[in-house]
Amino acid sequence: MAVAFPPKGLHGKTVLLTGASGTIGQAIARALAGEGANVIAHCNRAGTVDALCRELEGQGDRSFTLSGDFRSPGAASALFAGAVERCGCIDLLVNSASVFPENSLQGVTFADFQDTMAVNAWAPFVLGRALSRLSGPGAGGGKAIVNLLDTRIVGGDAAHAGYILSKHLLAAMTSMMAREFAPAIRVNAVAPGLMATDSAEDGGAAAEMAKNLPLRRSAHPREVADAVVYLLKSTSVTGQVLYVDGGRHLRESAPERFAAL
């Protein structure tokens, strides 16, 4: 019996992208549109991605914007319902929205944890679960979720304790959802590291830090976007974390190997 493969590419598929106003979020939105996808661009505050959506529509792609503060109870569910009402069907989900508060284990409060977990872990889970319920239990390959993690889940970051813990939780959820939602939905993650940009606003600090990475270079947001697109299109890949970080996770997991760098 012949095996029926899902169609390749993202042309005509509708993607719900959270955190579209961020640097990485914008790069992902442009990459998705470049693949012919319809993009529902979420932002925290209304109006912050209007210019981006106009840019994508100028290329001939359908693009919509929806806003919602994931720190508010029910915001993620309301966002998904609004997206379905607007577009009728959601094929793909990219969870890029994130908050990055500075706090230590000694200083973090319960309120800090609540806000950070709500945005970085709970909202991606609620949206992913909503997509699974919309999709049903049938055989899949065409529907997918990509969660944005952080390469620091390997080595940690004492100055952003709540953030790191929330990304650890999202990593665990990625694995659990990949098992639970199969075969209807594939679930993977991308873990960016130090980002290179097209500006010199940091005075060259990022380039200097990149010299300590195994590859001696940091990643560009476009490369993160390319990794997201790859995982959305790869119909036999699920439960994976793809590090786009110049090899930083290798250094963190085996520091003695790169001590001289």
How many Å apart are CA 83 and CA 149, to the nearest integer?
A: 23
* 69, 103, 129, 155, 178 from 144: Cα distances, Å: 23, 33, 12, 28, 10
Distance, in Å, from the CA atom of 98 to the CA atom of 28, rounded to the nearest integer, reads 14
The rounded percent of the chain whose pLDDT value lies above 70 is 88
Tell me the Cα Rg of the chain: 18
Say if residue 138's pLDDT is above 90. Answer: no
**Greater pLDDT, 187 or 7:** 187
- The pLDDT tens digits of the residues spanning 125-134 come to 999 999 999 9
The residue with tokens 């209304």 is 46
Confidence of residue 257 (pLDDT cuts 50, 70, 90): low
- Report the range out of 42-51, 78-87, 248-257 with the highest average pLDDT: 78-87
Write down the pTM of the prediction: 0.90
CATH number of 14-201+220-247: 3.40.50.720
- Rounded mean pLDDT of the chain? 89
Query: Would you place residue 209 in the very low, low, confident or very high pLDDT band (cuts 50, 70, 90)?
Result: confident
Domain boundaries, the chain: 14-201+220-247
